[in-house]
């Protein structure tokens, strides 16, 4: 699948300083741990989500 914008945060995926979409395996990882069902996440909006998951594991 190709996206012009991140399906999660709507950030542009084209052009200078654009974000990249995560690998499907990472998208699945986030969806699984946060009970989400998004098609994709980009490098920008995935950071706080991955931090949230990491904090959960550290408890
Ligand atoms: Zn995003």
Query: Which H, E and C letters describe the chain, residue by residue?
Result: CCCCECCCCCCECCCCCCCCECCHHHHHHHHHHHCCCCCCCEHHHHHHHHHHHHHHHHC
Q: 42 C-alpha vs ligand 1 centroid, how far in Å? A: 4
Domain count of the chain?
1
Residue 4 lies in domain: 1-59
pLDDT category at 59 given cuts 50, 70, 90 is low
Q: 15 C-alpha vs ligand 1 centroid, how far in Å? A: 15
Give the pLDDT confidence score for residue 30 in this predicted structure: 97
Q: 47 C-alpha vs ligand 1 centroid, how far in Å? A: 9
Tens of pLDDT along 3-55? 899 999 999 998 777 889 999 999 999 999 999 999 999 999 999 999 999 99
Give the pLDDT confidence score for residue 31 in this predicted structure: 97
Q: What is the pTM of this model?
A: 0.85
Give the pLDDT confidence score for residue 58 in this predicted structure: 79
């Amino acid at each position: 699948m190709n996206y012009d914008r991140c399906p999660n945060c709507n950030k542009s995926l084209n052009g200078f300083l654009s974000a990249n979409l995560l690998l499907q395996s990472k998208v699945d990882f986030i969806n699984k741990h946060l009970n989400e069902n998004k098609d994709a996440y980009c490098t920008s909006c995935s950071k706080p989500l991955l931090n949230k998951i990491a904090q959960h594991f550290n408890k």
